[in-house]
A and B are shown apart, each in its own frame.
Chain A
Amino acid sequence: MSYRIPMGPFHPGLEEPYKLEMICTGETVTDAKLHIGFNFRGIEHLAETRNYIQVIALMERVCGICSNIHTLTLCQAMERLTNLTPPPRAQYIRVIVAELERLHSHVLWAGIAAKLMGFKTMFMTCFEIREKVMDVLQAISGNRVNYAMNRIGGVNRDIEDPASILKMLEALEREMLRTIIPIFTTSTTARSRCAGVGVLTAAKAASVGVVGPMARASGLSQDLRRAAPYAAYEEMEFDVPVQTEGDVRARLLVRALEIMESCKILRQALGKLPPGEIFVPVEKYAFITGTATSRAEAPRGEVMYSVSWREGSRNPARVHVRTPTYANMPAVRWMVQGARLADTPLIQASIDPCYSCTDR
């Protein structure tokens, strides 16, 4: 006998309000439907009513986890419309903040995944480490969630003492190597709950069009930091971890390896931080009429901004955002089909969903 079981919109297994409606036979899920839109705030419309300074602060609030990547992508698009190029030091600082954000986002996700496996001790450990990443971000920007680092043509704050940040980073890396990475890669509990669960084949991944760690865990090697470098990524040496299994464990592994790659990038960026200005001093921004797009590799995958402007206007004519979760969420349906009911929270969370960004 099949029955319908709703998960959400408010559920202890979900970080945000959305709904996964599953059709089950016994403990096996036969089909699922995903409903979003519970967190719609009309941000894109609001953006049209804000000037070029206010819109950055507004778009920073699209997401509470990857706030920086939104302002970074928006500023890159606006820089195209104003013909400004940020100075090299600003590009490096953008890389540093983006990678720190990736670190805390991946560690947060590890905690959520652990919680969904019922492993609350690991959840607490992950969040403890995440606090330390946020301490580093606070040391740089003065803020813990909305860093307010980006501006048109550069960044707002300088990193005056990269050596002290480097020291904090080394302590952080040691902690990650000691706790999170072994749990991600070698723990038998993680393996028993994740191996072979929620498989998304490379062909399906390509046809659904998934992005970011989801795609990389299904064998599709794609990373904008490598394919279309922005900020100072062209000058960084790093690997793009790819796994071919396409299951939850592969997604765990990809993110664990990305944490290590992020540390590598951070070390390089802090070590080679060039001297100079941190923004282009301009009296008045001269926007040209047109539409500019910009892409960046957010912790969850590719985020794209399309910004339209009319010359002489202080406000954007249109700001459109495509978040990585929008690309990844259709895959949930294919991944939960045939899965055990007990695994569905973990499977849906393995895309590292951020429905608040998607709903906006």
Chain B
Amino acid sequence: MSLTTALARLLIFPGLLFAVPAAWFFLWVERKAVALMQGRIGPPFMQPFYDFIKLLGKDVPVREGIGGLLMKAWPLLAVSSAAGAVALLPVLPAQGGFQGDLILLLALLEVPSMCIIAAGFSSRSIFGEIGSAREAVLSVSYNIVFLLAILSIAVSQHTFRLEALAGLPATPLRWLGVAALLACLPAKLHINPFSLPNAEQEIYAGPMTEYAGHELAMWELAHGLEWVAATGLVATLAAPRFALWWLAALAFVALSFAVVLLLAVLASATARLAIDTTVRFYWHCTLIFAVLAISSALIMRFRS
């Protein structure tokens, strides 16, 4: 991939220019779907965009010293890494990519979560610190499953290149991996039943408690981009391949949309679990599931 293509992918498609409206759209879909299931009207189509603009116009408290600087830096880092993750997704076929871009994508997907943890501790708020501690525990729990699921798919299909992976036919093991990924998404996106770091009835907004104005707007944007990247990853692995580029793009968007809807249904049909129940869930059930997947992937690899 040349520098120009890389920049075009990062800034235009599927990067920022595409991903930012997509992030607002997905946030709207999630909010609207949850609202409709709860018998509410829900927000108008442009609401996430209005929220963003409104937050940009608000004042931010002046924070002195390195703590203040860090608090400014974390949301920016989260936005850029989430946008980078989206840019790596092979939405259109034959776009390039490189060997190992899957690993980079996983790393970039993890950065926003680490920024949230750091932001909560930087804010020095008790609610932020508890939220960060919860995010850290949650991240350790679901990430093992998340990484193992992706590794099992990559190992079984002999490639760490996303586009090649997307082009290969789906195996039963791949579906197992996709299911494990889906189980991790609610925790990754902080929605019910794993909305622990931002459990408003317990710790207000958790790590985001001290944030306001354009900094909070950046967090909202990073969250939206995470939605696009995470659902896009699942869509990449699950979407059928089409020769026609527009059909492929359509399948990608439709699948992402379906994943968002699925997550919205889950969020509205469940209560929030406590942290120990959540950790137990990921360590007991899904870990076994993912270990099964990776061991069968290894067996498949040695056999072939």
Residues of chain B contacted by A128 (CB below 8 angstroms): 39
* CA gap between A340 and B39 in the complex, in Å: 32
Are the CB atoms of A340 and B275 closer together than 8 Å? yes
Sample of 30 A–B contacts (CB below 8 Å): A4-B126, A5-B126, A5-B127, A12-B200, A13-B201, A13-B202, A115-B201, A117-B272, A118-B193, A118-B195, A118-B201, A118-B272, A119-B270, A119-B272, A121-B34, A121-B268, A121-B269, A122-B271, A124-B38, A189-B270, A189-B271, A190-B271, A192-B273, A192-B277, A340-B276, A342-B199, A342-B202, A342-B275, A343-B274, A345-B202
Q: A121-B38, A340-B276, A342-B275 are in contact. Are A12 and B270 (CB under 8 A)?
A: no
Q: How far apart sit A124 and B40, CA to CA, in the bound complex (Å)? A: 8
* Residues from chain A with Cβ under 8 Å of B246 in the complex: none
CA distance A107 to B62 in the complex (A): 45
Encode A314-332 as 1/0 by CB contact (under 8 A) with B: 0000000000000000000
B residues whose Cβ falls under 8 Å from a Cβ of A: 34, 37-40, 126-127, 130, 192-193, 195-196, 199-204, 268-277
Q: Please indicate the chain A residues that have their CB under 8 angstroms from the CB of B200 in the complex.
A: 12-13
Number of A-B residue pairs having CB atoms within 8 Å of each other in the complex: 73
A121 with B201: CB separation less than 8 A: no
Given contacts A122-B271, A189-B271, 6 further A-B contacts (CB under 8 A): A5-B127, A11-B201, A11-B204, A118-B199, A119-B192, A120-B34
> Which B residues are in CB contact (< 8 Å) with A190?
271
Contacts of A6 in B (CB 8 A): 126
Binary interface encoding of chain A residues 324-360 relative to chain B, with 1 for a CB under 8 A from any of its CBs, else 0:
0000000000000000111111000000000000000
- Interface of A, secondary structure class, is helix
A125 is an interface residue with CB less than 8 A from chain B: yes
- Taking the nearest CB of chain A, how far is it from the CB of B265, in angstroms? 10
Interface centre among B37, B272, B276 (most CB of A within 10 A): B272
Known A-B contacts A124-B40, A193-B274; A3 and B201 likewise in contact (beta carbons under 8 Å): no
Whether A277 is near chain B, meaning CB under 8 Å from some CB there, is no
Residue in contact with B202 in the complex, picked from A3, A121, A192, A341, CB distance below 8 Å: A341
The 5 tightest CB contacts between A and B, nearest first, are A118-B272, A119-B271, A13-B201, A117-B271, A124-B38
The interface residues of chain B lying within 8 Å CB-to-CB of A13 are: 200-202
- Within the complex, the shortest CB–CB distance from B114 to chain A, in Å, comes to 21
Band of interface residues on A = 20 to 34
CB-CB < 8 A to B271: which residues of A?
114, 117-119, 122, 189-190, 193
Q: Do residues A5 and B274 form an inter-chain contact, with CB atoms below 8 A?
A: no
* Interchain CA distance A6-B127 in the complex, whole Å: 9
Q: How far is the CA of A247 from the CA of B273 in the complex (A)?
A: 18
Shortest CB distance B25–A (Å): 22
Contact partner, A341, options B130, B193, B270, B277, Cβ 8 Å: B130
Quick check: B37 and A3 within 8 Å, CB to CB?
no
